[in-house]
Structures are given as C-alpha cells and as structure tokens.
Amino acid sequence: MLKTNILKLLYKRSPMDFYTFTDDGQTIIKSTNNTPLGYKFNKKFTQDEIFSVWEKIKLHKRISTIMIFLLFLVLMYVIIFPKYTLIVNNNWYVNLIIILAISIICFQIAIAFNTIFFEKSLKKDYGEFSKSNFKPSGEIDESFYKLFKTELSKAIIIILVVITCFCAISPFKLTHKLIKNKRYKEAINITTIGSKIFPIAQEWYSLRGYARFKIGDFKGAINDYDKAYTLGADGFNIMNFDNKIYIKYYIGEYDSAIKDFDTEINKADSDFEKDSFLWDKAQFLYNIKHYEEALALYTELLVKAENDQIFLLKDRLYLERAQVYQKLGLNDLAEQDLLNSGTYEQDKKPLNEIPKPVLIIDEIIK
C-alpha cells in the first residue's frame, strides 16, 4: 500500500500527469517547464488529442534536455574547466555559488526557449488558450500511470547498470591493468578520451604520463605530469611532481629540473612545504654530482632542523650530508656527521644511501 502511494505521489509530479479536465468541460495542459503554469482550453480534449499532446510533450522534453546538456557542456568546457586554475584558489562556497548561478541561468534559458515553442505548437494545433494554474486532478489515467512505472523502472535499471559497470570496470583500474600488461598505446588512448571528458581529473594525466614515458615520449610525459601537478595539492599530486623530476633526471635535463624545484620553493605556502622541496632538491643535486650545492642545502636544512625536529630529521640529514662530504673527499667531516647521525661504521660507509629519483608509479603498478 505504501509503495503504491509513493508511486502515485511521484506520478503526480512527473511529466506523464500532464492534463486535467475541469467540471465545466475545459481542459488544462501542464507546461513542460515543471512549474504550476497551465494552458486552459475551452473544450474537452478527446483521447486522441490527449495522446497527441503527450507526443508533443515528449518531443519538447527531449529538445529541452538536449539544450540543457549542450549549455552544460559549454558551461563546463568553456567556463569552468579552462578557468579551473583561477577558481581553485577561491573558497569552495564562492565557487559553488558561481557555478550554481551560471547553471540556473543556463537552465532558465533552455526552459524559456522550449516554453515559447511549446505554446506556439499548442496554439497551432488546438486553438487559443488562456494561461492558468495547473492542479493535478484526483483521478489517475491508468495508461499514463503504467507508462510512468515503465519509464521509472528503466531509469532505475540504467542507473544501477551504470553504477555497477563503473564500480566493476573503473577506467582508472582498466588503465592500470593495461599498463601492467605493457599495452601502453591503449592506455594512452583511454586516458586521452578521459581527459577530454573530465579534464580536471589529474589521474588521467598521471597515468598517461607513465605510458608515454614507457614508449619514449619523454616530452609528452613531462607535460602530462606537469598538468597533473597543477590540478591539485595532495599526496598523489606530489607524486606527479616527483615523476616529472625523474624524467628530467632520466633524460639529463638537470637545469630544467632545478628550476622546477626553485619555482616550488619560492611559492611554498608553508615552511614544511618549503623544507620538503629543499630536501628533495638537495638529494637531486647529490645524484647529479653537484656536491657543493648539495652541501650548502644540507647545511641550511640542519640549521633549520634545530627548530623543526618533526619533519627535518637531524639524524637522516647528518647521514646524507656525510655522503656529500665523502664525495668531496672531506672524510673527517663525513666521519663527524656519521657520529652525529648515530650510524657510524668502521668503514665509514653510510647504512642508507641517498635515494635516487624514481618513477613512483612503478611501485603501484607492480
């Protein structure tokens, strides 16, 4: 009983409940814009005319849906996505208000055009009408009620199928699988399509960057990782920056990589973020054999570690600076740093070497 009442309640608010007859033999047709607006005709429509009106409503609903969809595409791909880097720094509620306002305007534009065409079509086929309020009658047209239940069932099934397919065959999981199986060109095709559909998802560019690197498209991979890095700030995002640095290390573009580090250091929002990039830069300088520059950074970080012993681990910094001293032939200073790090060995060899740049996604794929 409850189920039936709920369905009938939904039906009363659906497009299928679109007409009513008045006691004095008039017909009121509901507007297609989902408002209380109705069109009153001074005659009682025949059953054929009612079905004819329904065909018009279906047509205009489809046109309206297409218009709204096209306006939505324009909104997303002309306004929101291209300006993403500008709006991402706003407060979330400011962006929400702007997007909602633009969406409402687009919706109302589509509805206004559709309403004009619908009214002209009604007047052409059924004569003059006056505008009135549409109030659903207590009666239910069983043929349209049956149609409503059929369409509702279809909609629910489609939604469930889409959700199930997306959960079972996530495009990101599928791309990971393709990469794992070394089908890099197919992975590039999928991620390229995905980046066109939803261009602010950084995963598309990160996965495509990996696949491009594997086929030797190093410039394309760098561009993809750079794009992924600009789209957000989280743990996954830092991985994109590290991967970009790795590729530049791999192909010998050391100066460009150092510029990337300097850019991030200069625009860091906090000391924690700045120190993180400084430490990464120090390790990078060591790996490209710029030992004097690496030494200067490690010394700076050790001074800063006096006030930040949570992130800047002094033991680890002493250990890494000892390796720099050893490369410079300053063995006495290296030995002192090893003592300070608590990892002194008689052969004066550090227990853990400074890590080399790596393509981090390797660990995810394997």
Domain coordinates of the chain in residue numbers?
Answer: 15-137, 266-366
Residue 237 has which token pair?
A: 């995002």
- Residue 295: CB atoms within 10 A of its CB come to 20
Q: How confident is the model at residue 199 (pLDDT cuts 50, 70, 90)?
A: confident
- Whether pLDDT at 166 is above 70: no
Using 50, 70 and 90 to split pLDDT, how confident is the model at 234? low
**Per-residue pLDDT tens over the stretch 179-188:** 999 999 999 9
In tens, the pLDDT along 115-137 reads 888 899 999 999 999 998 888 77
Question: Is the pLDDT reported for residue 262 higher than 90?
Answer: yes
CA torsion sign for 269, 272, 275, 277 is negative
The answer to whether 324 touches 295, Cβ cutoff 8 Å, is yes
Contact 349, 163 (CB under 8 A): no
Give the closest residue to 29 by CA, choosing from 180, 174, 113, 136. Answer: 136
pLDDT tens-digit readout, 279-306? 999 999 999 999 999 999 999 999 888 7
Q: What is the mean pLDDT of residues 97-110?
A: 80
pLDDT score at 366: 44
pLDDT category at 172 given cuts 50, 70, 90 is: confident
Number of helices (H), then strands (E), in the chain? 16, 4
Residues facing 131 on adjacent strands: 39
164: helix, strand or coil: helix
Answer whether residue 363 shows pLDDT above 50.
Answer: no
- Highest mean pLDDT, choosing among 53-67, 152-166, 252-266, 301-315: 252-266
How much of the chain is in helix, strand and coil states, percent to nearest 5?
70, 5, 25
Secondary structure E strands in 150-289? none
